[in-house]
Chains A and B, each alone.
Chain A
């Protein structure tokens, strides 16, 4: 499955389709990190609107991706989580371990990333 990584201004956007195999996730992760480096992207937006399930494995993957992106200088936000998935994640007990920023949609995701970037920039000057 070819999953495109799009660039919008200083951000990259990827849409996760449901039923990605472990191999596909690994490959996609590499591609995302490569592209962050290449384009000097400041933010990564992962659209999970189509994910009908996020199990502990996928949650860990997303977490890793966010950590790796941070090392490359990009913040990550996940957008479009389905209500059933949110509830299930809470019940799974992953709420506490979930450290990734979330937003309801692309627009809010971008706004969130910009806020985070701004506050980081400001704190550098303190």
Chain B
């Protein structure tokens, strides 16, 4: 075994053997900094243990991937849910302090060895704490993103105004992500309601850019694939200019000035075809 490996083993052994005391110290300091206010005593005990043990295990094994995976799973299960991102990061830094001071107290009489151990400890500790803190933060962000998506879905109501006609009133500025989500929602609605005609009204959209225009074309084409026709209504003079300037394939679009005239056209389209007998 190399000296580094020996020292690493010694260090992780120390941290394991003194786990009880160090954990208590860590929790005490976090409490003093009011980081654990929202957690119950049981949660504090369980969750601090889980994280402490993960860190020591990673110092011992050097398996950062496993630590990352484990931290993610913990985050998903709701560990530290009650803490803010701020508190989580402070908490991890506190753990680093607690470890650091412990190492110092253990090796203070052997300065050379102290430096060696710190030399091993610091990069490892930084990496682990980074991974763990990041896992929780990322999970947090993922949940927020999901909620945003859900809200977006709610704010894009597809209305069924007749047995076979859907109306999608678009309002506001639409970014690429929202546009993609709208396309998906609309296509799903077509199949769910078995609508034959979809009217997309863009009266409430002040600005159409290339991205939105392309999504519109995609929607029209995909709806046609499914077996439904699309009408675009409410194009403003400004947007009309944009669309032509962008070189959008206008042969793809059937348009009407107002939603009302769009509905009228849709009704016409759905009338059964009268075949003349010759």
Tell me the A residues contacting B by CB distance below 8 Å. Answer: 79, 81-83, 86-87, 89-91, 95, 98, 102-105, 108, 115, 118-119, 122, 125
Contact = CB atoms under 8 A, between A and B. Distances in A.
B218 interface: yes
A86 B222 contact: yes
B218 A89 contact: no
B233 interface: no
Contacts, number: 57
Contacts of A122: 275-276, 278
Interface string B210-246: 0000000010011111111000000000000000000
A81 B278 contact: no
Give the most central of A89, A95, A105, A119: most B CB within 10 Å. Answer: A95
Contacts of A87: 183-184, 187, 218, 222
A87 B226 CA distance: 9
B226 A81 contact: yes
Interface residues on B, range: 20 to 34
Given A90-B222, A125-B278, A83 B227 contact: no
Nearest to A101: B227
A105 B218 contact: no
Interface string B262-278: 00000000000101101
Contacts of A104: 190-191, 194-196, 226-228
A103 B227 CA distance: 4
Give the most central of B183, B184, B191: most A CB within 10 Å. Answer: B191
